[in-house]
Amino acid sequence: MLSTAGLPAWLDPVVHAAETVEPLQLSRFLPPESGAGRQSAVLILFGEGEKGPELLLMERAGSLRSHAGQTSFPGGALDPVDGDPQGEGPLRAALREAEEETGLDPRGVQLFAVLPRLFIPVSNFVVTPVLGWWRTPTPVGAVDQNETARVFTVPVSDLTDPANRATAVHPRGHHGPAFLVESALVWGFTAGVIDRILHFAGWERPWDRSRRVPLDWHA
């Protein structure tokens, strides 16, 4: 299900990063050696819009029990129908969840790489980030308002713009990279993965890491 054939040249640095990055270079939170954790996958979908390369993101509904209101990649837990979690299961889950959440047509998506599995301790998810190229874009939107508040794309140029970058500070004192784009604060797992992709693809621009924003910055 993975192929790099026919990808646009600008994705070459992302392909190289995916082939060479080590798990601890992405996050200090790695899956438990015991094998515990709920297997899941997210789709990191690159497209090309009016401002060039872009990423597909969504805002989770505020009523959800897990990660309510957060901006995230489409994705979710693996179902039995997806198959082997150690094989192509995460690839199928990433596409299935993206279709269920955003309405995209998976036939227009070319999966080209996966990143090392990561761990989200607060929700006990073992996450496989699946990278895709939106070869044939289709209309997207919130399929179920009980799960998804909105769906949108963000130009990579906006994500690399130093004016849109900050360090998010959690009320408990945790902090990590954040992006202020499309009237949203992207933080947590999603921002961490985006930050690492930008860095290892060589797209990162110097930004003010001392700039702090609270999670309720838009309130």
Res 184 pLDDT > 70: yes
User: pLDDT band at residue 215, thresholds of 50, 70 and 90?
Assistant: confident
| Sequence-ordered list of residues with C-beta below 8 angstroms from that of 130, at least 6 positions apart, any chain | 41, 42, 43, 44, 90, 91, 94, 95, 111, 113, 114
**What is the predicted pLDDT for the residue at 69?**
72
Quote the radius of gyration of the chain (alpha carbons, Å).
Answer: 16
| Sequence-ordered list of residues with C-beta below 8 angstroms from that of 204, at least 6 positions apart, any chain | 160, 195, 198
Question: pLDDT tens-digit profile of 1-54?
Answer: 899 999 999 999 999 999 999 999 999 999 999 988 999 999 999 999 999 999
Least confident of 125-129, 145-149, 184-188, 211-215: 145-149
Q: How far apart are CA 39 and CA 89, in angstroms?
A: 9
Q: Say which residue the tokens 């849109």 belong to.
A: 164
| DSSP one-letter string for the chain | ----TT--GGGHHHHHHHHH--HHHH-S----TT--SEEEEEEEEEEEETTEEEEEEEEE-TT-SSSTT-EE-SEEE--GGG--TTTTHHHHHHHHHHHHHH---GGGEEEEEEPPPEEETTTTEEEEEEEEEESS------S-TTTEEEEEEEEHHHHH-GGGEEEEE-TTS-EEEEEEETTEEE-HHHHHHHHHHHHHTT------TT-EEETTTT-
**What is the predicted pLDDT for the residue at 219?**
46
**Half-sphere exposure in the Cβ direction for 121 (13 Å, CA):** 5
**Half-sphere exposure in the Cβ direction for 150 (13 Å, CA):** 7
Cβ atoms of 41 and 128 closer than 8 Å: yes
**For residues 169-195, average pLDDT:** 92
Q: How far apart are CA 18 and CA 197, in angstroms?
A: 8
What is the pTM (predicted TM-score) of this model?
0.94
**What is the predicted pLDDT for the residue at 123?**
87
Percent of the chain with pLDDT over 70: 95
